[in-house]
Structure 1
């Protein structure tokens, strides 16, 4: 059930958000499957069922390993995630949970071993945009 329809209520704002998401998808340095994994984790943290469902499906469509998705809530204790994925997931959690500056700096240092500056910038934008979409999804949908 929807509380309001964001695309219809404010079409210009929706288009701006959608255009950003489109650029992140079409001019990406980050592989789609990693993007999906990050978007799923951010959506889990934010408890956005609508976005979780959507990005889980996208992860599968991009050939993501179903076991990674199943283990995503406990990724720190699970095998099957490479070091770059771990660094990206830690960055996603640090920014989504608004960790301390010390924790964010530590997480950023781990990214430097696996990603170039433009990729880190893109990851940050993916995480920030997903957080915005989550809040819009949570505001709109009672159930997904």
Structure 2
């Protein structure tokens, strides 16, 4: 059960965060879905994992790749660019005490342009905010399926 309806309590802030998340970027929608799922897994946000897996399925993502997101390092199902985005997602989501190393930054730039890396970092920050809000207030998975048409994924 949800602790409170944060949308009702902070509607203007929810609208601004939703607007940020819907802003067109240089990041391919497939990569966006992967990083939203991975950050949500790392943050233990069941609400967001549920939502983004369903969105990815509706947009044609293969089920096996969805299952492999949690083990992307060992999987052969992801491109070098997707792997770079997933690695950057992990680095930004769980910041190390010393921050992100120059070596990690340079490795990301071997597969992503500076524009893509910048846009990706904003996307990671945005999903992390959603994760924290839903974890804090116990967002209930599936409660927005009808509003967002997520029942079309056939995963309920």
| Segments ≥4 residues shifted beyond 6 Å | none
Q: Larger helix proportion, structure 1 or 2?
A: 1
- Residue 47 of structure 2 corresponds to 50
When residues 128 and 16 of structure 1 are mapped into structure 2, their CA distance, relative to the original with a 3 A threshold, is same
Superposed, which structure 2 residues align to 1:1-144 within 5 Å? 1-23=1-23, 27-101=24-98, 103-141=100-138, 143-144=140-141
Q: If the length of structure 2 is used for normalisation, what is the TM-score? A: 0.84
Q: Offset at 1:11?
A: 1.1
Runs of 5+ in structure 1 lacking a partner?
A: none
CA contact (8 A) 2:47 2:139 kept: no
Partners in 1 of 2:139 and 2:108 — Cα distance?
A: 36
Question: For 1:45-103, what per-residue CA distance to the aligned partner results, in whole angstroms no more than 9, with x for missing partners?
Answer: 00000000000011112211211111111111111111111111000001111125475
* Superposition RMSD in Å: 1.5
Q: Offset at 1:10?
A: 1.0
Runs of 5+ in structure 2 lacking a partner?
A: 142-156
